[in-house]
């Protein structure tokens, strides 16, 4: 079983099967995306056992909320990254996590220019697209989407007015939206 090849399917086929509540499609989805999604979660929670739990919770949430997924609003992988990222952030902010002493005080990731390696965004061409943003927009997007910072945390930790952070994020999202539509 360990040497079985990873099952693959087109995104459209997976979406169709998942909307039809085909449980075997969930296995294919997990095989195709779990390693990358685990990297996203681990970058935020920093503890392997916690990352494994969060990933499992995220896949349960993906299955349970799949009827609300709308392919016209974004790619399946992007939707799943957001679920995983939000689950991880919720875990880090949870009282249980803080009481266990697992949360870090702004580690090296808070330094401008820090690049996350575990996410492997080159697999989905996100890094190349993000590189086309202005340096200010890129910093905000990197911190928000790859590092799990909130807009308030970015403003506070980098001494940038909150309104400026929000404006940069909004304008970056508009640029990225146009760029992603151009690739679809």
| Alpha helices (H) along 46-161 | 48-65, 76-93, 95-99, 126-130, 135-141, 151-158
User: Can you give the CATH number for the domain in which 77 is found?
Assistant: 1.10.1740.10
Which structural domain, as residue segments, surrounds residue 67? 1-104
Greatest mean pLDDT range, 11-25, 83-97, 118-132, 163-177: 11-25
- What is the number of other CB atoms lying within 10 angstroms of the CB of residue 10? 8
pTM for the whole structure = 0.55
- What is the number of other CB atoms lying within 10 angstroms of the CB of residue 133? 19
The CA distance from 86 to 10, in Å, is 25
User: Using one digit for the tens of pLDDT, what is the confidence trace for 41-98?
Assistant: 988 888 899 999 999 999 999 999 999 998 888 889 889 999 999 999 888 887 666 6
* 17 shares its domain with 42: yes
Are the C-beta atoms of residues 133 and 174 closer than 8 Å to each other? Answer: no
User: Using one digit for the tens of pLDDT, what is the confidence trace for 141-170?
Assistant: 877 776 777 888 888 888 889 888 888 888
* 98 shares its domain with 147: no
* 141 shares its domain with 184: yes
């Amino acid at each position: 079983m360990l040497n079985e090849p990873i099952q693959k399917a087109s995104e459209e086929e997976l979406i169709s099967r998942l909307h039809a509540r085909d449980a075997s499609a969930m296995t294919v989805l997990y095989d195709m995306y779990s390693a990358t999604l685990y990297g996203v979660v681990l970058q935020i929670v920093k503890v392997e056992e916690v990352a494994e739990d969060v990933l499992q919770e995220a896949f349960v949430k993906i299955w349970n909320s799949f009827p609300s997924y709308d392919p016209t609003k974004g790619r399946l992988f992007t939707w799943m990254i957001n679920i995983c990222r939000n689950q991880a952030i919720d875990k880090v902010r949870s009282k249980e996590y803080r009481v266990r002493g697992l949360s870090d005080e702004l580690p090296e990731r808070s330094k401008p220019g820090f690049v996350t390696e575990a996410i492997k965004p080159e697999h989905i061409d996100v890094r190349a697209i993000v590189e086309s943003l202005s340096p200010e927009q890129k910093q905000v997007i990197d911190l928000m989407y790859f590092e799990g910072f909130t807009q308030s945390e970015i403003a506070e930790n980098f001494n940038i007015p909150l309104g400026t952070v929000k404006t940069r994020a909004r304008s970056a999202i508009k640029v990225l939206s146009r760029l992603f539509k151009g690739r679809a």
